[in-house]
Amino acid sequence: MPYAGRTISTRERLLDLLQILRETLRGSPQDFTEGSLARAILLLSVPMAVEMSMESVFSLVDVFFVARLGPEAVAAVGITESMLTLLFAVAVGLGMSIAVMVARRIGEKDPSGAAVAAVQAIALGILVSLSIMIAGILLAPRLLRLMGATPAIIQTGSGYTTVMLGGNLTIMLITLLNAIFRGAGDAAIAMRTLWLANLANIILDPCLIFGLGPFPALGVTGAAVATNLGRGLGVSYQFVMLFRRQSRVRLTREAVRLDLGVMWRLVRVALGGIFQFLIGTASWIGLVRIISTFGSAALAGYTIATRITIISLLPSWGLSNAAATLVGQNLGAGKPERAERSVWLVSWCNMALLGGIGALFIAFAHPLIRLFTHDSQAAPIGASCLRTLSYGSLLYAFGMVMLQAFNGAGDTYTPTVINLFGHWLVQIPLAYALARMAHLGPNGVFWSICLSQSLIALVGLAAFKGGRWKRRKV
């Protein structure tokens, strides 16, 4: 202990904190099964929160530039993203699975086992991507037509759809490889990957869309080319890091082989993660369907409020992912008590963070919504939504961490069941009942989200305290 036997001054504490924050950006090999949990949480959660934020930048940048080409181009981007939902579901599920397995092997001090597991995840990802690639290259206009695109959208956007679906391997790999780094505790590498990919996309987007300098003017197709090139650059950096001698998960020649046993375990855990993603996505579609019956102003207000909420949740997701990594590594090291302590500590930190944000949203709901719209009907509905969702912030904070702790332990089944119960047996029926039968209108939907998410958190807390997750084998 550097300060044993004497009082630590405020200046020394601040210097220590700055040193840890510098370390989160630089990254270096760490053993998260030993030492200070608070330091481990900072080292993991800060780059993970930044990584989450960077992932959302891709679509924001594309829409920002594509919007200058007209509504058909924006519609093509939106429809294509909806077609990629299945790919994202598989990527998130596989990413969750490989992060768990890598964390366990690292905790067990078995880096070669982590490398073998990484190879299996990459092979599975490539297999899924190839099928989507073939369908996208051959059937892009037909797929757009099936999604309800008009002839004008098909004519404008078929090139974008072809390139995005045809180059979907970059989405799959950047997601899987970052999950490998997170599981190993190399969160700084995952963060830097998305910095690099986003920087390339921001530079290439206007060049390839509008034909700046020596670049051809590809229109909306240029956005897809830029995004794939940016992600491809990020993937190249990831592979360089994985083949380094100093890497915690190093892809050696011996590791590059198929292991059907490991692959099956990955698939089994991944299925729960995939269903978790699809349950949440399908529930959101159901809520949008109910709200849309109250008019475009209600839908616009809800959309703005949920976008603000999602942005505020990014650091909380970073904290939750840090808990998952700490659970996986410490269970692998045979330290379930340390794993449990890490979850409780992260939960209290997340409660303080999200509770503070929620209090600000409750107090300043109207000004925040009016940053995005001055519509006399949409603004008050959006403010009501933002305020109502924020009432459950403290419980959301606990629920997010608890469910991610199960995923980190390799138990994706429990959070899947809890989410299915909370979203489809409670949230959707309650939203309809409050909005239509109780005549609360859109506010009924907002309250159903607050109440159901709070219930999910309480059920997750009860299941976590049961302790079965500590005995999960991966």
Question: Residue 74 belongs to what domain range?
Answer: 49-258
One domain for residues 133 and 224 = yes
Of 187, 190, 139, 202, residue with least CA distance to 166: 139
Residue 454 forms part of a structural domain: yes
One domain for residues 309 and 454 = yes
Which long-range CB contacts under 8 A does 225-228 form with residues at least 24 apart?
225/163, 226/62, 226/200, 226/201, 227/58, 227/62, 227/164, 227/201, 228/163, 228/164, 228/167, 228/170
Residue 7 forms part of a structural domain: no
Count structural domains, the chain: 2
One domain for residues 284 and 230 = no
Of the residues 258, 283, 310, which one is the last residue of a structural domain? 258
What confidence score (pLDDT) does residue 6 get? 54
One domain for residues 86 and 231 = yes
Q: Would you say the C-alpha torsion 212, 215, 220, 225 has a positive or negative sign?
A: negative
One domain for residues 251 and 275 = no
What confidence score (pLDDT) does residue 1 get? 42
Of the residues 226, 258, 290, which one is the last residue of a structural domain? 258
One domain for residues 343 and 378 = yes
State the pTM of this model: 0.86
b/e code 116-149 from CB counts within 10 Å (16+ = b): bbbbbbbebbeebbeebbebbeeebbebbeebeb
Residue 15 forms part of a structural domain: no
pLDDT tens per residue, range 378-399: 899 999 999 999 999 999 999 9
Of the residues 225, 258, 291, which one is the last residue of a structural domain? 258
- Largest Cα separation within the chain, whole Å, is 76
pLDDT in tens, the chain (474 residues): 444 455 567 776 676 667 666 776 666 667 888 988 888 888 888 888 888 777 777 777 887 888 888 888 888 888 888 788 889 899 999 999 999 999 999 999 999 999 999 999 999 999 999 999 999 999 999 998 988 888 988 998 899 999 999 999 999 999 999 999 999 999 889 999 999 999 999 999 999 999 998 999 999 999 999 999 999 999 999 999 999 888 889 999 889 999 999 999 999 999 999 999 899 888 888 898 898 889 888 888 888 888 788 878 888 888 899 999 999 999 999 999 999 999 999 999 999 999 999 999 999 999 999 988 888 888 999 999 999 999 999 999 999 999 999 999 999 999 999 999 999 999 999 999 999 999 999 999 999 999 999 999 999 999 999 999 998 887
Helix, strand or coil for residue 100? helix
One domain for residues 157 and 209 = yes
Task: Answer yes or no: are the C-beta atoms of 407 and 464 closer than 8 Å.
Answer: no
